[in-house]
Structure 1
Amino acid sequence: MSRQADTSSAGWERSVNTHPRATTAHRVPPMMRALFVLLLATSASAASPRTLRVDYFHTGNATEERFSLDKVVIEPLPWPGHPERAIDETNLGKYLFEVRGRENNRLLFSRGFASIYGEWEVTNEARSSNRTFHESLRFPAPERPVQVLLKKRDAQNAFREVWSLVVDPKDMFVDASSPPAPGPLLKLLENGPSAQKVDLLILGDGYTKAEHAKFEKDARHMVDILFTFSPFKERKSDFNVWGLVPAAAQSGISRPSTGVHRRSPIGATYDAFGSERYVLTFDNKAFREAAAFAPYEFVEILVNGNTYGGGGIFGLYGTVASDSLWAPYVFVHEFGHHFAGLADEYYTSESVYAPAADRLEPWEKNVTALHSPEGLKWKHLVSPGTPLPTPWNKEGYEKHATAVQKQRGHIRAQRKPESDMDKLFLAQRDWEEKFLSSQKYSGRVGAFEGAMYESKGYYRPQVDCVMFTRDRVPFCAVCQSAISEVIDLYSGPPAMSPQANP
């Protein structure tokens, strides 16, 4: 596979890719192990490289795309990750980037990710027009020149190179200047050195200086909610959570469908891609320059508003409107997208994406085209005696969902108060919880048709899940497994191996 290091670095590669809980450190006495981890963490912290960021432009349409360099930046803070967990083998993301030593082609760092462009290119707009998006790649600053390779999945789910560039950290055009700090860094949850933890940043947008205390209260509430869901609940000690909020001139963010426009510091806006509930920021530079003042691997943008909305893109950020009645659910659902690349399992809501021409196997771990029951990617979790595909009262569910969508459209068209939408959603939740929990195979892992905005051809693992409805249910077993794998990529005791330098 192209993501593997070359054989000249085989020993280093094995140490990098060893599961953090299966190392020789795990077999030494607890006190010695604790001392070793402390010493190694201290050493790693002292020698941590800065964070290097490659900013670039991503331009194209539904059939072609181009990349061009904007600038190379050295961020203010050290790289938050551990050097021995530099290689991503989760096989997640529509894109993958690799950093390789220029002298020996050794694989030094890799991460899978998704992007706004990657979503936009499957919209109807992309079939008739071009657009440009600003994007970034972040990795530990090397000591010597490296080659950065950007890859994209093809129809067979193989990563193919689409762009590459050489980055010399000593080039005179590398920008090491620092923009003004957006505000004080809040410690919302601290469990240890960043190198040993998953670092999550809660980044506020649309909060004025006078609303700083409100942001902190909102952020702490969202953090508390996240750690009530498994497997985050059981792995809480593997996380650090930080808060940062640049002061906005006006309270709130843009909502173009109602004529509201705000120049908020992070640039978050409702109506992304024309979907009234979809909240994104297209101002990548503003987002990156603010976030650079916190140690982070994942970011949740907390927007100051009460209209239902949010969004989540794997490896980029998640968003949620803090004052919506549904903020706790939306936060957790969208964080599932951002953190573990989980796909939407619902299919009855309106979608901005063009219908898929072919039923290709998705790269997301919680949905499948089920080309072969024997090859089902979560077959090891299927409950004994569960048929594949798994029957459920799909028609009854769709009939009710269609009626709800009509009511929802009426509420928005009449610009009725948000409380009317909340009332509709509460009634929908109560009906769905009763209906789905009464299904014969409820609570069991199988393959239930209807997922990824498509009624036919795509399947989800369980009849109900955080990624399917707003019901008071947990992540399904497959989603929990995917989330745990990402936590393992960033946290846990390091492998006992020498540190590799580019």
Structure 2
Amino acid sequence: MLRRLASLLALCAISAPALAAQPATMRLDYLHSGNALDEHYAIDRVVIEPLPWPGSLSQTLDPTNRGNNLVEVVDAKTGKLLYSRGFSTIFAEWRTTDEATRADRGFQESVRFPLPEQPVKVRILKRDERNLFSVVWTTSVDPNAMDVIRKQPPAPVKPIGIRVNGPSEDKVDLLIVGDGYTQADMKKFEADARRLADHLFATSPFKERAKDFNVWAIARSTSASGVSRPSTGVHKESPLGTRYDIFGSERYVLTTDNRALRELAQYAPYEFIEILVNNDTYGGGGIFGQFSTAAAGNDWANYLFVHEFGHHFAGLADEYYTSPVAYATGGERREPWEPNATALRDPTQLKWKKFVKEGTPLPTPWPKEAYETASRAYQKERAALRANQRPESEMSALFQRDLTQSSALFSRDPHVHTVGAFEGANYEATGYYRPEMQCIMFDRSDKFCSVCADAITTIIDLYSRPTR
């Protein structure tokens, strides 16, 4: 541990001249509130974080067209676009739930960008019914204003360098944050972070681009191990407030305490965050451009870590459709912005057509009926295990049996390795299509399909630069 820390400090010292050229990091914390029909924004505070901007100043504009929202930072005097990034929000998911039809709620959100020299306008854009971005909120930010928070308290804990491959501005910086780890669990947290990072970089396309990443880890200790599972009567304090049962889904794990997350994360370089909860129960979640979560002690932690990171990092859609989810997708079949799902309104314009071989039928046939018959039985058994609070080992065994059966079913199909358009995706049995029969985003298999891998590579390219 001491040797690793010494190496980290040495690297930071070596990188200091490069980092010194970077501007500071500015964070705008705001409140996003409303209901199913209406939404509002309000400034909470403007903060200058302790560390320099971790990203490349040569790639400040986002060309990927991903996310439900887009942040733009514009020079107030000239109107020049200085920075943009796509993202999604917990609020957008919540407003599709039943609760949003009868109540208002507010959520904390943040956007981060390089500290500007002059006043700027920060604009939040949202996709409209044409699937285009339009401005829904604009606020003025003066970096020299008296109410900007410029001084932060000392770091409560020091980050650990898990994989450090170069200056932050040249690399994708992934921060692994622990929640539900006691002081006695801190060695376990570091081991969990290293183990899951190793698995991420054993998975293509992250494997081939491992040198383009830095990975850091940070955690504040809790008084008791684990995080809350309200549906089972388990309530625990934790620094980030991460918990199960988000929006009533027993496996959905998120934190809605954005301020707590950002106040801890700001002491490490980061562009992406994955929260590890110190629990054995299957669960996780991922919000594009915000963070992802995974239960570190579960038998399927490797899958959870990579699958949920796919949502957060690349904006990948869930391709499964037989599991219940916490929020509604709506009856319309609009073309999804996510790169790995389509409504297939015009097969000749399929968004991933560069991967489709000539002569491939669109839609592409697959053993859908047999899969759904088996899946209905599996989901019934899964619900019974949770309702009866059976041991987690029984759930893990069920997951393995389901994966084995579906893989065997798919292996006999002539299109098992075909890139096409397979109906059933984005939580819907009909009207949405996925690129391949099997993918990490569809089931608990261990590979991304060609389209998801390409979408991930696009984001890696946006945040990293070749070694100089």
TM-score range relative to shorter protein: over 0.9
Which structure 1 residue ranges, 5 or more long, are not aligned? 1-40, 496-502
- How do residues 58-77 of structure 1 correspond to structure 2 at under 5 angstroms? 58-77=32-51
Q: CA–CA distance in 1 between the matches of 2:334 and 2:398?
A: 35
- Provide Cα deviations, 1:368-420, integer angstroms capped at 9, x if missing partner: 00001011101111123210000111110000000001001111111111111
2:92 to 118, 140, 159: 118
Could you tell me how far 1:197 is from its partner in structure 2?
0.2
2:205 to 198, 223, 231: 231
- How do residues 261-410 of structure 1 correspond to structure 2 at under 5 angstroms? 261-410=235-384
- How do residues 116-155 of structure 1 correspond to structure 2 at under 5 angstroms? 116-155=90-129
Could you tell me how far 1:196 is from its partner in structure 2?
0.2
Structure 1 vs Structure 2: percent identity of aligned residues?
56
Give the match's secondary structure for 1:410: helix
RMSD: 1.3
CA 1:434 to 1:356, structure 2 compared with 1: closer, same or farther past 3 Å?
same
- Counterpart AA for 1:328: N
Worse overlay, 227-236 or 350-359? 350-359
1:477 and 2:450 correspond: yes
Could you tell me how far 1:184 is from its partner in structure 2?
1.7
User: 1:26 — aligned with what?
Assistant: none
Q: CA–CA distance in 2 between the matches of 1:487 and 1:122?
A: 31
- How do residues 110-259 of structure 1 correspond to structure 2 at under 5 angstroms? 110-259=84-233
CA 1:131 to 1:200, structure 2 compared with 1: closer, same or farther past 3 Å?
same
Using structure 2 for the length normalisation, give the TM-score: 0.95
Q: CA–CA distance in 2 between the matches of 1:454 and 1:166?
A: 41
Structure with more contact order per residue of length (Cα contacts < 8 Å, sep ≥ 6) = 1
Could you tell me how far 1:124 is from its partner in structure 2?
2.1
Give the match's secondary structure for 1:84: coil
User: 2:6 — aligned with what?
Assistant: none
Q: CA–CA distance in 1 between the matches of 2:329 and 2:293?
A: 25
User: CA contact under 8 A between 1:203 and 1:243: conserved in structure 2?
Assistant: yes
Q: CA–CA distance in 2 between the matches of 1:180 and 1:359?
A: 50
1:90 and 2:72 correspond: no
- How do residues 35-50 of structure 1 correspond to structure 2 at under 5 angstroms? 45-50=19-24
User: CA contact under 8 A between 1:115 and 1:314: conserved in structure 2?
Assistant: yes
- Provide Cα deviations, 1:441-496, integer angstroms capped at 9, x if missing partner: 11110000000110000000000000000123x1000001100000000112499x
Runs of 4+ with >3 A deviation = 41-44
Give the match's secondary structure for 1:269: coil
User: CA contact under 8 A between 2:333 and 2:432: conserved in structure 1?
Assistant: yes
Could you tell me how far 1:176 is from its partner in structure 2?
1.4
User: CA contact under 8 A between 2:28 and 2:111: conserved in structure 1?
Assistant: yes
Could you tell me how far 1:437 is from its partner in structure 2?
2.1
- Counterpart AA for 2:209: R
- Provide Cα deviations, 1:239-271, integer angstroms capped at 9, x if missing partner: 000010111121110100011111101110000
User: 1:17 — aligned with what?
Assistant: none
Q: CA–CA distance in 2 between the matches of 1:438 and 1:129?
A: 49
User: CA contact under 8 A between 1:182 and 1:245: conserved in structure 2?
Assistant: no
Q: CA–CA distance in 1 between the matches of 2:207 and 2:313?
A: 15
Worse overlay, 114-123 or 230-239? 114-123
Using structure 1 for the length normalisation, give the TM-score: 0.89
- Counterpart AA for 1:482: A
Could you tell me how far 1:43 is from its partner in structure 2?
6.5
Q: CA–CA distance in 1 between the matches of 2:330 and 2:17?
A: 50
Q: CA–CA distance in 1 between the matches of 2:303 and 2:49?
A: 33
Could you tell me how far 1:313 is from its partner in structure 2?
0.5
Could you tell me how far 1:182 is from its partner in structure 2?
3.1
Q: CA–CA distance in 1 between the matches of 2:187 and 2:98?
A: 42
1:486 and 2:431 correspond: no
User: 1:100 — aligned with what?
Assistant: 74
Could you tell me how far 1:180 is from its partner in structure 2?
4.3
Give the match's secondary structure for 2:58: helix
Could you tell me how far 1:187 is from its partner in structure 2?
0.5
- Counterpart AA for 2:231: S
Could you tell me how far 1:331 is from its partner in structure 2?
0.6
